């Protein structure tokens, strides 16, 4: 409610943004499902209220989709220090996280250590 008019005014100035409101509280998943049903673009991106993105966050997510339109992408998430807002990777430099989707659409992450390649 506190973003009501201010958000509506901001959206009204945008050509590529639509605001869709539920008549009553539906919860996160129902709201995302409704957003997906109402979407008119080729790609749907969901950001939760606690998400903050940085410069050039979207191209690495779109590149695999361009190669294979049936692909789902998930970003790597950094830790943000609450007192300084400094970004810290939660992944060690030698790891290469790989995500998998189980049949129930449960996302899991595996960490594969990068092997050194010998010539």
Q: What is the pLDDT of residues 28-75, one digit of tens each?
A: 989 999 999 999 988 888 888 778 888 899 999 999 999 999 888 888
Q: Which H or E element spans position 108?
A: strand 107-113
Contact 80, 100 (CB under 8 A): no
Q: pTM of the full predicted structure?
A: 0.62
Separation between Cα atoms, residue 73 and residue 32, nearest integer Å:
16
pLDDT (tens digit, 9 = 90+) per residue, 65-76?
999 998 888 887
């Amino acid at each position: 409610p506190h973003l009501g008019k201010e958000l509506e005014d901001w959206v009204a100035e945008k050509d590529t943004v639509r605001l869709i409101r539920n008549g009553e509280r539906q919860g996160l998943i129902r709201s995302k499902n409704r957003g997906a049903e109402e979407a008119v673009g080729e790609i749907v991106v969901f950001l939760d209220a606690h998400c903050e993105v940085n410069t050039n966050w979207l191209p690495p997510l779109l590149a695999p989709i361009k190669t294979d339109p049936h692909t789902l992408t998930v970003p790597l998430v950094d830790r943000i220090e609450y007192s300084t807002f400094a970004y810290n990777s939660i992944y060690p430099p030698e790891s290469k996280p790989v995500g998998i989707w189980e049949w129930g659409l449960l996302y899991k992450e595996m960490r594969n250590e990068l092997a050194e390649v010998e010539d």
